[in-house]
Structure 1
Amino acid sequence: MKKLLVVVALFVATLSNAQKGHIFLGGDVGYSSEKIGDAKSTNFEFAPRVGYMFANTWGVGVEGSIQNIDLAGSPKTERYKIGGFLRYITPITETFAFYADLGGGYQTYSVNDAKGMYAFFTPNLSINVKHGVALNFSIGGIKYDNLDGHNDPRQERFSFDFGNSFNIGISKNFSL
């Protein structure tokens, strides 16, 4: 039930050329697989977002993520995130827009029942394809997260990964 509520509460976001009073939906789906010798790992993530433009260039929204990680020889693990974000959008042309998201939230990790917080700043480029549908591109950002688990030391990560990652997303804009 808890997983279902997270999925329903999170359902998608990102957008280009938003206007006041619009709702935007989008998100990311990711899969990776790695094999080193006999060891294999797979990772699947579903990260929806939904937001509302309260001004022509400002929006606010909620996001979530469900991630399944399978490492050979280790128990399957799951990571859940739920949080919020503030978005600033500025059109460059009728087709292109720049937007940046600043946000954070709560996360859990099934290994040792770890819990913690996360924060991020991510600049993006959006290409308006047609009828409120946009492709969104990011080349990294600034991220921080921490996890506290039972009988494990506190984990903290900070990354400044501009140019070290590449993400593509899709979004849809709806008028109210």
Structure 2
Amino acid sequence: MKKMLLILALSVFGFANAQKGTILVGGNIGYNSQNVDYGVVDIKTNSFEFSPKVGYQLHDNWTVGGEFGLESSKQNNGGSESKFNSFKAGAFVRYTVPLTETFSVFADLGAGFHNQKVKNYDDEGDLLSTTKADGLYAGVTPALFINMKKGFGLNFSIGGLGYETLSFDNNGPDVKSFYFNFGKTINIGVSKNF
């Protein structure tokens, strides 16, 4: 009975209010820390990721904008150390379908440029090597939006579909990767329409 009342209440509220002409601001922040003890060597990895988005709502269903991403990680291998930094900048198009006033589903199509830099240090902190790479990325990410109050909400996604290229400096390899990771990742983000 409670489920029926909830469904009826959601039906009465109808679809989400049109947000044409508003600015969308959102993004994700992530932190990961891992410690693996191999007995002889203890490997510690810490990583941080920040990926904001800013867009303009052209229509009730369509949003276009820019997306950025910064990622930094450090791995300590029992004395030696590796530092990884990555930057992404691109554009996205979002198509949103409101289900109720509270719930909407959307898909983001994003594409742009990305680069990464890896520095390796020895036990005494001296720089051993630096590796740089530049490339392109494109991806589709479906997600669920939960409107908490007045355009402020949470975004939930469980993976996506994408393609990336990286070309390493100094006659390094050219890497092309395709991923399909539905159900393997979970992302939670925050967004606000102004």
Query: What TM-score do the two structures reach when normalised by structure 1?
Result: 0.86
State the percentage of identical aligned residues: 47
Q: Any idea what SS the aligned residue of 1:110 has?
A: strand
What is the aligned counterpart of 1:45 among 49, 64, 73?
49
Moved more, 74-83 or 55-64: 74-83
Higher relative contact order (CA 8 A, sep 6+): 1
Per the alignment, residue 105 of structure 2 pairs with: 98
Deviation of 1:113 after TM superposition, in Å, equals 1.8
Per the alignment, residue 123 of structure 2 pairs with: none
Deviation of 1:74 after TM superposition, in Å, equals 3.1
List per-residue Cα deviations over 1:28-77 (Å, max 9, x = no partner): 00011112220111110111000001111111010001111111133312
1:137 aligns with 2:156: yes
**How many residues align structurally?**
159
Q: Any idea what SS the aligned residue of 1:113 has?
A: strand
* Distance in 2 of aligned mates of 1:66 and 1:113: 15
Structure with larger Rg: 2
* Distance in 2 of aligned mates of 1:39 and 1:142: 31
Change (3 A) 1:17 1:152: farther
Moved more, 128-137 or 151-160: 151-160
CA RMSD across the alignment? 1.3
Per the alignment, residue 35 of structure 2 pairs with: 35
Per the alignment, residue 126 of structure 1 pairs with: 145
Q: Structure 2 regions of 5+ residues with no counterpart?
A: 1-15, 119-130
Checking the alignment, whether the CA contact within 8 Å between 1:17 and 1:89 is kept in structure 2 is: no
The one-letter code of the counterpart of 1:124 is A
Change (3 A) 1:168 1:97: same
Query: What TM-score do the two structures reach when normalised by structure 2?
Result: 0.79
Change (3 A) 1:117 1:17: farther
Change (3 A) 1:53 1:92: same
